[in-house]
Structure 1
Amino acid sequence: MFTYADSIKPDGHSITTYLENLLAKRYQIPTFQRDVVWEKENVKKLWDSIYKFYPLGSILIWKTNTKLESHREIGGIKFADDFNSNEYQYILDGQQRTTSLLTSIYGGNIAKNGNFNPTLYIDLTIELTDATDDTSYAKRFLFWDEIDDRNGQLKANISKKKRYEGKLIVSLIDIIKNYVEIERNLHALGYGDFENPYMQQLRRIREALYNYKISFIELRGIEVAEVCQIFERINQAGKPLIPHSAGQLRKKIIFSTRSTKKLENPLPFMG
């Protein structure tokens, strides 16, 4: 029996599980969402919070049998073809974080950022100075343009390029896919002791990737009008999820639903 307690339910998934589900097309991002605002500094701070196991805001998921127009890709990564389902899972709040997490690990491209590579790397040599260290993250988490020395032309990057070539700067995707090999490299370099700070850094980021729980709030059995009201209430003290009022949002959802139905049941050509 479906009850009110079932309509709004908290949940949690690891980063790797969430992104795997996203790539498996188990979530969709409706097109009425606001544009992604992606900034290097904010992405690094996001990962620093995860690295420290600080809590993040919840991702809001609407589970419904209503089909909406959805984005076919996020961060340049194709993840949702047009398909029919008995239940859709729409990401209503959390698109920014989702884009940052997905592109940090799987690469892709960011709109309005040209050929910039959003893949994120971690420098295993950068340690936390203390529990309140709020600056080292900028050197710990790096993008490729902060590592590539362009054959020695960028002097500021020469030492980082050497650490990258020496296997001391590694990508997040490599930690997921090639963790054992990275461990072996550290052993071969003489850093294999369990208490070695480089090994500790490696274990810590791996633990975050697999054990940090992203908080989800799932809405189920809730109609459009109530979804809009939830939007409005959870954002009263903060920045709106999208640059529209609740009334405009409702119109957009209804229009999206109607547009989808038109595509599914096109009228015969009466030329």
Structure 2
Amino acid sequence: MMTAANRITTTLLNRRPEARTISIQDLLDVVARGGVRIPSFQRGLKWDRMDAKLLLESLYRGYPVGTLLLWETAAPAGEGRIGSLTMPAPQMENALWVVDGQQRIVSLARILLAADPDKDAFALYFDLDSADFVIPAATSKRGTDPSRWLPMTVVLDAEKLMQWLFVHTADPSSRQRRDTAIQLGRRIREYEIPAYIVRSDDQAILRDIFSRINSAGKPLNLSDVFDALNGSRFQSRPSTMSEISSELEKLAFGRIEERILHRLLRVLQGLPVMESTRSESLRLADAEAEEAYQRTAATAS
């Protein structure tokens, strides 16, 4: 019989998390006013400028960038520091503490809120000709063609952006650059990130949520990613790593480990042998995969 001493208790949230979306402009407005805080149990910043660049590219393209998890509760007065940014953090009853999303929020703040477009280590410009995000070092010719490179520090504020455009793109020949800059600003400012808002005074619950989010699930290995991207819609050829390996074995090539096979396929596609978190995932078009399989089969026969 279970007694009070050994009974297991489960802590429950009294209120379900609120699901909502928040625009980049509204989110960073709260950051600038000191309304976003980082709890002590959060890890330090792990991202670098290339990670932040990928995030900006995803926002510009309209890709999903994940969900934020924020804890709404009281916060004491202090001073917030994010990269080169220092901002007052007044005492608040409804501050938003970041449970999940610190890397994204901090990166956005460092790129879009910095006072100096070149000072922060995350600083980026937007090349209005190639429509690409670039580091300050890549804009060394700004003096001869200043209207080409847009500092990301003016994008969040529509008025600042228009002032920059008035100074740098007044010439009729710069119309395309001006249109590109306006589109960029709108897509970044208006991008809506999904977020859960948790309201609870029990920090232990938030620690539990944080632990579960950051430890749940199993990461995909390279074969899983390949299979997801290349699952064939046809039955005439193998399409997963396991199927390709099995077919090669039937063709007297011997059994090739999926890890080695993945690297061989990357070489054939002209990609780096070792795949990093930032490298392009291996994806084969149906036509070229079909042709490659037929050629391999013909060679072995």
Task: Specify the TM-score bucket, using the shorter chain as the normaliser.
Answer: 0.5 to 0.7
Structure-2 separation of matches of 1:144 and 1:179: 18
User: Which structure 1 segments of 5+ residues have no match?
Assistant: 110-114, 128-139, 149-157, 240-271
Superposed counterparts of 1:1-271, under 5 Å: 6-65=15-74, 67=75, 72-81=80-89, 83-107=90-114, 117-127=121-131, 140-148=132-140, 158=141, 162-163=144-145, 165=146, 167-175=147-155, 176=157, 177-184=159-166, 185-192=168-175, 196=176, 198-221=177-200, 223-235=202-214, 236-237=216-217
State whether residues 29 and 91 of structure 1, in contact with CA within 8 Å, keep that contact through their aligned partners in structure 2.
Answer: yes
Tell me if structure 2 keeps the 8 A contact 1:28–1:71: no
Contact 2:114 2:120 in 1 (8 A): no
Say if 1:88 and 1:107 are closer, same or farther in 2 by CA, change over 3 A: closer
Shift of 1:162: 3.2
Using the TM superposition, give the Cα deviation of residue 199 of structure 1 relative to its aligned residue in structure 2, in angstroms.
3.7
Residue aligned with 2:64, SS:
coil
Alpha carbons 1:30, 1:90 under 8 Å: kept: yes
**1:122-179 residue CA offsets vs partner (Å, 9 max, x unmatched):** 010014xxxxxxxxxxxx112212223xxxxxxxxx4x6533x2x1111122233433
Residues 200 and 189 of structure 1, relative CA distance in 2, 3 Å threshold:
closer
**Superposition misfits of 4+ residues, deviation over 6 angstroms:** 68-71
Q: 1:68 to 1:34 in 2, by over 3 A?
A: farther
- How many Å apart are 1:72 and its aligned residue? 2.8
Could you say what secondary structure the match of 2:93 adopts? coil
How far residue 187 of structure 1 moved from its aligned partner, in angstroms, is: 4.3
RMSD of aligned Cα (Å): 3.0
Count of residues in correspondence between the two structures: 202
Q: Structure 1 residues 34, 223: closer, same or farther in 2, change over 3 A?
A: same
| Unaligned stretches of 5+ residues in structure 2 | 1-12, 220-301
Q: What are the Cα deviations for residues 85-144 of structure 1, in whole angstroms up to 9, with x where unaligned?
A: 3333211111111111011122279xxxxx7543321010014xxxxxxxxxxxx11221
Quick one: distance in 2 between partners of 1:80 and 1:31? 18
**Against the structure 1 CA distance between its residues 116 and 209, is the aligned structure 2 distance closer, same or farther, given a 3 Å change threshold?**
closer
Matches of 1:88 and 1:78, distance apart in 2: 17
Q: Distance in 1 between matches of 2:135 and 2:21?
A: 28
Contact 2:79 2:86 in 1 (8 A): no
CA drift at 1:228: 2.5
Q: Give the SS at the match of 2:174.
A: coil
Q: Please state how far the C-alpha of 1:229 moved relative to its aligned partner.
A: 2.6
Inter-partner Cα distance in structure 2 for 1:180 and 1:76: 25
CA deviation after TM superposition for structure 1 residue 70, in Å? 7.8
Per the alignment, in what secondary structure is the counterpart of residue 37 of structure 2?
Answer: coil
Kindly, what percent of the aligned residue pairs are identical? 21
TM-score if structure 2 supplies the norm length? 0.58
Higher relative contact order (CA closer than 8 Å, sequence separation 6+)? 1
Native 8 Å contact 2:78 2:91 kept in 1: no
The SS at the match of 1:7 is coil
Checking the alignment, whether the CA contact within 8 Å between 2:52 and 2:122 is kept in structure 1 is no
Q: Distance in 1 between matches of 2:86 and 2:120?
A: 18
